[in-house]
Amino acid sequence: MKLLIVVDYQNDFVDGSLGFPGAELLDEKIASIIKNYDDVIFTLDTHFDDYLETFEGKMLPVKHTIKGTKGHEVYGKVKEYLKDAKMVFEKPTFPSLELGNYLTKHPEYTEIDLCGLVSHMCVFSNAVICKAALPNALITVLKDYTDSFDKALEAKSFNVLNGLQIEVK
């Protein structure tokens, strides 16, 4: 079975507090491929009012994706597909351990594609989680369906993913 994981395609990463030019262009692209998969899972970066007091908040002191705010919501047309998702994982940091635990119980996923934001952070770390959970599955990061505010780090992360036997195409 083919699974698409839409990683953190949320308002705050597109046009909100951590948004960047070009992130909005993924909306049409991601929406257009969702129907090509047996299942779709979403991850949502999820923080609370005490975010700035957390370890991540001290390292990245910009309030974002606070649960219950517009910034936490999925962006654009992609939001329409949230209701049909197989699972939605709210995660307090870059990767989702819950996603990994879920995947270990679902070996029927033999192909997993990842898209969303941000390529060298949350997409990267969740791709690694997927590989750890299902080491015999084909894990692919769809480079034209993810983006970063830092193209140099994105390119480096894609090279590392290839070294971990995670395809980037």
Helix (H, G, I), strand (E, B) or coil at 164: coil
> What's the confidence (pLDDT) of residue 40?
98
Dihedral of alpha carbons 99, 150, 168, 143, sign: positive
The predicted pLDDT at position 123 comes to 98
Q: What is the pLDDT of residue 119?
A: 98
Query: What mean pLDDT do residues 144-167 have?
Result: 98
Dig out the tokens for 11 from the structure.
């308002």
Question: pLDDT at position 35, please?
Answer: 95
Domains and CATH numbers, the chain: 2-168 (3.40.50.850)
For 22-36, what is the HEC assignment? CHHHHHHHHHHHHHH
Residues 3-45: tens digit of each pLDDT:
999 999 999 999 999 999 999 999 999 999 999 999 999 999 9
Q: Tell the residue number behind the tokens 């590392």, with chain if given.
A: 160
Q: 61: burial class by Cβ within 10 Å (0-12, 13-18, 19+)?
A: exposed
**According to the model, what pLDDT value does residue 62 have?**
97
R_g of the chain, CA atoms, integer Å: 15
Q: What is the rounded average pLDDT of the residues 118-139?
A: 98
Residue-wise pLDDT for 58-108, tens only, equals 999 999 999 999 999 999 999 999 999 999 999 999 999 999 999 999 999
